């Protein structure tokens, strides 16, 4: 058995050896995705899709709780419509997919496969908003979008991905600002409280903000290899789209005013973050709250009388308190142990003739590997306790990892040393000049991740030019 186990695990490259290969191995071995027929596209397999469904359901409930309604827009955008907002088209043009033909006929006007739906919402809002009584409008859609990326990786960057995009209209700038912040907090809660991933909250620099936005708020997370990942963004769009699409309302005094808009998006990229934050050399580790299967029952010596009956009984019984599955196939227990470790299922429950005789079951935690003997009558209590404990432990572990990999740099020498010796987030001061931001990227390939809401003055001068500093910024190499 030991030999077999070893071989199975060897199919995954060790993350210390080659993190990118480890990621690809895990995504494939855990059966989350398959590659699509077009380069850079992905087929999300049932096990991967079930994780997305859980995340989506949690977020959808939060979106509705905060007063938003779901609707659905078409996939195609006429070229002329995308041209209306200048910054927006400039930002997206390089990665847009075009439709030029319908059947045999060349189209009069090219169509864009939506890379995002700001302009579709804006056009629609222009038609339905007339008076202050029509505001706010709080809409969201769940959909797919297409971005023609040059380099692609499953979940992290694919030609097509799934997401939700919220688009709202407000009477005042303050209302839009409040909405922008509220939805960032919703994303942060989803990441921290459900996906067990700690995030930094802040604002993007002007260089990194969304094309067409007044400003962009972001949550940033740190992966196991010390690279950052933008986990979700919320944009204050100001009145730019309202001016371009003539979305105006008459206020209480009867004056025509442009609406103030927001948009915010959360994507299947989050699954990539989950893999790279919690995974280890045995495969995935899925936080209990988003795991499609929280407990996997593996019968041991299942040919012996009573074992399978008992295992199925436990499945029925425990399904009242958790998402439970059983593998009663004729594969060996050793194969099953490895398989469900690979799949990151939070708890494995082993039950064999000896366990039945002694009135207990064996529970094995995926996060620590710890084995626990739990009396039959205590199983519900024990499992609920363990699921909660695993959830907390994963968050704490990720937070400690992020703290270990966060450095302070007062000079560019310190900056480069940190990137070299302890890659992760770097806290450094910035003068606010875009040229310094660009130079840092040029010299180190680290980008500004965010200007955190919680500012920490780590020195008086800009890390690059030594002029007086305006703000503290988090920097990192990023996905």
Residues that bind Zn ion (CB under 5 A): 431, 433, 436, 462, 464-465
Adjacent-strand bridge partners of 69: 139
Q: State in angstroms the smallest separation of the CB of 434 from Zn ion.
A: 10
Best CA proximity match to 316, nearest among 305, 324, 307, 308: 324
CB-nearer residue toward Zn ion: 211 or 412: 412
Q: State in angstroms the smallest separation of the CB of 466 from Zn ion.
A: 7
Q: State in angstroms the smallest separation of the CB of 445 from Zn ion.
A: 18
Taking the C-alpha atoms of residue 87 and residue 237, their distance in angstroms, rounded to an integer, is 12
Q: State in angstroms the smallest separation of the CB of 405 from Zn ion.
A: 24
Best CA proximity match to 314, nearest among 226, 404, 237, 380: 380
CB-nearer residue toward Zn ion: 376 or 412: 412
CB-nearer residue toward Zn ion: 41 or 466: 466
What one-character DSSP code corresponds to residue 441?
H
Taking the C-alpha atoms of residue 155 and residue 152, their distance in angstroms, rounded to an integer, is 9
CB-nearer residue toward Zn ion: 300 or 473: 473
CB-nearer residue toward Zn ion: 149 or 433: 433
> Which residue matches tokens 């580790």?
285
Angle formed at CA 111 by CA 110 and CA 112, multiple of 5 degrees: 130
CB-nearer residue toward Zn ion: 134 or 433: 433
Q: State in angstroms the smallest separation of the CB of 220 from Zn ion.
A: 21
CB-nearer residue toward Zn ion: 5 or 461: 461
Residue 35 CA, distance from chain mean position = 20
Q: Which two tokens stand for residue 363?
A: 């529970």
Task: Report the C-alpha dihedral over residues 208, 213, 217, 222, rounded to 10 degrees.
Answer: -30
Residue 131 in contact with residue 249, Cβ under 8 Å? yes
Q: State in angstroms the smallest separation of the CB of 201 from Zn ion.
A: 24
Taking the C-alpha atoms of residue 29 and residue 332, their distance in angstroms, rounded to an integer, is 18
Taking the C-alpha atoms of residue 411 and residue 404, their distance in angstroms, rounded to an integer, is 20
CA distances from 261 to 84, 167, 239 (A): 16, 7, 7
Taking the C-alpha atoms of residue 154 and residue 29, their distance in angstroms, rounded to an integer, is 13
Residue 23 in contact with residue 275, Cβ under 8 Å? yes
Q: State in angstroms the smallest separation of the CB of 124 from Zn ion.
A: 43
CB-nearer residue toward Zn ion: 196 or 463: 463
CB-nearer residue toward Zn ion: 286 or 431: 431
Q: State in angstroms the smallest separation of the CB of 216 from Zn ion.
A: 21
CA distances from 410 to 158, 400, 427, 434 (A): 37, 23, 9, 18
Q: State in angstroms the smallest separation of the CB of 478 from Zn ion.
A: 20
Preceding peptide of 136 cis, ω within 30°:
yes
């Amino acid at each position: 058995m030991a030999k077999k186990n070893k071989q199975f695990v060897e199919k995954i490259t060790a993350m210390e050896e080659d993190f990118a290969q480890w990621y690809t191995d895990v995504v494939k071995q855990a059966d989350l995705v398959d590659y699509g027929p077009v380069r850079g596209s992905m087929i999300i397999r049932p096990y991967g899709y079930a994780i997305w469904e859980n995340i989506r359901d949690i977020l959808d409930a939060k979106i509705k709780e905060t007063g938003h309604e779901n609707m659905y827009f078409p996939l195609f955008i006429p070229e002329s419509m995308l041209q209306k907002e200048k910054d927006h088209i400039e930002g997206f043009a390089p990665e847009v997919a075009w439709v030029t033909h319908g059947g045999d006929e060349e189209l009069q006007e090219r169509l864009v496969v939506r890379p995002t739906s700001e302009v579709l919402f804006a056009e629609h809002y222009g038609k339905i908003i007339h008076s202050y009584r029509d505001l706010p409008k709080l809409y969201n859609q769940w959909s797919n979008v297409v971005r023609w990326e040059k380099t692609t990786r499953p979940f992290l960057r694919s030609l097509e991905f799934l997401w939700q995009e919220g688009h709202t209209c407000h009477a005042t700038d303050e209302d839009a600002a409040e909405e922008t912040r509220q939805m960032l907090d919703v994303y942060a809660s989803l990441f921290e409280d459900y996906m067990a991933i700690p995030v930094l909250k802040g604002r993007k620099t002007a260089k990194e903000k969304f094309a067409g936005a007044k400003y962009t708020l972001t949550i940033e997370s740190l992966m196991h290899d010390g690279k950052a990942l933008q986990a979700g963004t919320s944009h204050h769009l100001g009145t730019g789209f309202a001016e371009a699409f003539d979305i105006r309302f008459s206020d209480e005094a009867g004056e025509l005013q442009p609406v103030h808009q927001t948009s915010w998006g959360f994507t299947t990229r989050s699954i990539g973050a989950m893999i790279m934050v919690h995974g280890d050399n045995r495969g995935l580790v899925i936080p209990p709250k988003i795991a499609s299967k929280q407990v996997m029952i593996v019968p041991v010596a299942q040919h012996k009388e009573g074992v399978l009956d008992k295992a199925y009984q436990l499945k029925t019984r425990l399904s009242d308190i958790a998402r439970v599955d059983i593998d009663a196939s004729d594969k060996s227990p050793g194969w099953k142990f490895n398989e469900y470790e690979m799949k990151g299922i939070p708890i494995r429950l082993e039950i064999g003739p000896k366990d039945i005789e002694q009135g207990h079951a064996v529970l094995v935690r995926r996060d620590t590997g710890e084995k626990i003997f739990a009396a039959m009558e205590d199983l519900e209590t024990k499992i609920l306790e363990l699921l909660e404990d695993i959830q907390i432990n994963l968050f704490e572990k990720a937070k400690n990892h992020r703290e270990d990999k966060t450095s302070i740099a007062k000079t560019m020498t310190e900056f480069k040393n940190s990137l070299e010796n302890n890659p992760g987030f770097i806290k450094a001061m910035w003068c606010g000049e875009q040229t310094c931001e660009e130079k840092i990227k040029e010299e180190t390939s680290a980008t500004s991740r965010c200007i955190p809401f919680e500012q920490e003055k780590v020195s008086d001068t800009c890390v690059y030019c030594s002029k007086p500093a305006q703000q503290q910024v988090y920097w990192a190499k990023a996905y």
